[in-house]
């Protein structure tokens, strides 16, 4: 079976419309990118045209929609577009828009499916990694809702949608892929309860809402400008939202998702539980020979092409993955043969904390030096702040090194870093370094 590869859109394409909550007119454009870029939103209407990556860590609000924020810059109601992208297995796209929300269209993902059909799909050279569920992961909600993931070879969702009216309870179990997403899920419209409309308007929400872009439920009755598209349209839209919110997880998921009474809040709580399970799995990887080199990864030879460090001072065995241009996850397999164990508590060997900080600095340098404009330069470590050492690192540990660039301007870069063993933070620090010519 051929290896699946990452993808992007083939060409630039745009659509215009009205946003749901702000009621503003908006133009949205999707543009091709390279592998490892992921989904990133660019606010063209603001000074400096700031970009917000679609990461779980950027979620700031989940009332009636999923909102991403970077400082004071926000992009709201991203779930329908992200659902269409993930549903069609398009992995990397730059999304430009001139307001704080994508257009709502008819309340489904259909407008974005049409947009992506115009843009086309282009495969890239990098192999496509997925997170294969190996052990059950679950979360629960106070109202009786729950979400769980079970091992499964494909991507399957079994969802029960119920509500306070005791009417319109629906269930659907479906295998979802690029071949059936548009037909079975993408056209399902959002819905709202009649008694919620006035409170939502009072909160400044759904200003662009109408029967053209939402179904209104009033008791047993349903108000819609057109006939129901599916007999179980409500649960299909819940699955659409689940797919969109899980697109904020760094990898496509392979597993069976079970959900009852899902919401954006529960979806994101579940995505965070999946991320914790994923990081614990990465931390459990032992000998470097057994760690898969997937797309977005760098093996030891690639690392040495970027960094000038060599044994015994090279503290990165490989980079497991990148998340856009601002995050990287590296691996250092700690063995008893490390030269520092000869003098650092020989009877009770512990990896020096300063070398863990050096490992963070090296992964941060890789993030900057892999950019074309910095190729062939050096990363000079300048300062460290807020360093904390929480647990000892012993021989045999697989040290996972997570770094996020917090500032990169000119020749100066700042980053926050963590080292983890078995999913637990063992050290952390804030770093500053300079990019210099050799």
The structure's pTM equals 0.66
Domain 288-436: CATH superfamily is Hotdog Thioesterase (3.10.129.10)
Q: Cite the residue boundaries of each domain of the chain with CATH code 3.10.129.10.
A: 288-436
In the block, which residue shows the tokens 């086309």? 120
- Statement: 5-281 belongs to CATH 3.20.20.150: no
User: Under a CB-based contact definition with an 8 Å cutoff, are residues 251 and 149 in contact?
Assistant: no
Lowest mean pLDDT across 305-309, 386-390, 416-420: 305-309
Confidence label for 283 from pLDDT (cuts 50, 70 and 90) = low
Residue-wise burial string across 211-222, b where 16 or more C-beta atoms lie within 10 A, e elsewhere: eebbbbbeeeeb
Give the strand order in the sheet containing 215-218.
Answer: 191-193, 215-218, 221-223
The pLDDT tens digits of the residues spanning 180-226 come to 999 999 999 988 777 666 555 455 555 555 556 678 877 777 877 78
* 253 token code pair: 């998921």
The pLDDT tens digits of the residues spanning 41-93 come to 999 999 989 999 999 989 988 776 899 998 899 999 999 999 999 999 999 99
- Report pLDDT for 295: 39
Q: Cite the residue boundaries of each domain of the chain with CATH code 3.30.230.20.
A: 5-281
The pLDDT tens digits of the residues spanning 325-366 come to 788 888 888 877 788 887 877 778 899 999 999 999 999 888
* Residues noted as catalytic: 264, 344
In the block, which residue shows the tokens 């929300």? 101
């Amino acid at each position: 079976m051929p290896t699946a590869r990452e993808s992007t859109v083939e060409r630039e394409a745009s659509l215009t419309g009205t946003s749901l909550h702000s009621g503003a007119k908006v133009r949205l454009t999707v543009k091709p990118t390279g592998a490892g870029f992921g989904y990133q939103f660019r606010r063209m209407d603001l000074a400096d045209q700031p970009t917000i990556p679609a990461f779980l860590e950027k979620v700031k609000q989940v009332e009636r929609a999923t909102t991403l924020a970077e400082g004071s810059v926000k992009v709201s109601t991203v779930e329908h577009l992200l659902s269409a992208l993930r549903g069609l297995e398009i992995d990397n796209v730059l999304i430009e828009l001139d307001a704080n929300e994508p257009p709502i269209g008819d309340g489904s993902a259909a407008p974005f499916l049409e947009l992506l059909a115009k843009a086309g799909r282009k495969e890239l050279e990098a192999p496509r990694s997925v997170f294969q569920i190996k052990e059950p992961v679950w979360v629960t909600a106070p109202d009786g809702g729950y979400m769980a993931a079970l091992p499964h070879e494909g991507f399957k969702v079994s969802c029960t949608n119920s509500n306070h009216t005791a009417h319109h309870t629906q269930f659907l179990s479906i295998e979802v892929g690029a071949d059936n997403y548009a037909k079975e899920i993408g056209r399902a419209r959002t819905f709202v309860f009649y008694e919620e409309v006035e409170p939502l308007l009072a909160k400044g929400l759904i200003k662009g809402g109408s029967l053209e872009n939402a179904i209104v439920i009033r008791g047993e009755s349903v108000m819609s400008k057109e006939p129901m598209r599916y007999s179980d349209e409500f649960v299909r839209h819940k699955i659409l939202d689940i797919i969109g919110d899980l697109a904020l997880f760094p990898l496509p998921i392979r597993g069976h998702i079970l959900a009852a009474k899902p919401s954006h809040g529960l979806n994101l709580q579940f995505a965070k539980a999946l991320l914790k399970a994923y990081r614990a799995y990465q931390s459990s990887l032992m000998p470097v020979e057994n760690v898969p080199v997937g797309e977005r990864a760098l093996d030891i030879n690639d690392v040495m092409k970027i960094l000038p460090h060599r044994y015994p001072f090279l503290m990165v065995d490989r980079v497991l993955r990148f998340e856009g241009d601002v995050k990287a996850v590296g691996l250092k397999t700690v063995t008893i043969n490390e030269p520092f164990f000869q003098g650092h508590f020989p009877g009770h060997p512990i990896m020096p904390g300063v070398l863990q900080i050096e490992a963070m600095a090296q992964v941060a340098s890789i993030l900057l030096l892999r950019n074309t404009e910095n190729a062939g330069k050096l990363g000079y470590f300048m300062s460290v702040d807020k360093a904390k050492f929480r647990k000892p690192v012993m021989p045999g540990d697989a040290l996972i090194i997570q770094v996020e660039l917090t500032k990169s301007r000119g020749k100066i870069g700042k980053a926050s870093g963590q080292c983890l063993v078995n999913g637990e933070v063992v050290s952390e620090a804030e770093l500053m370094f300079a990019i210099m010519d050799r």
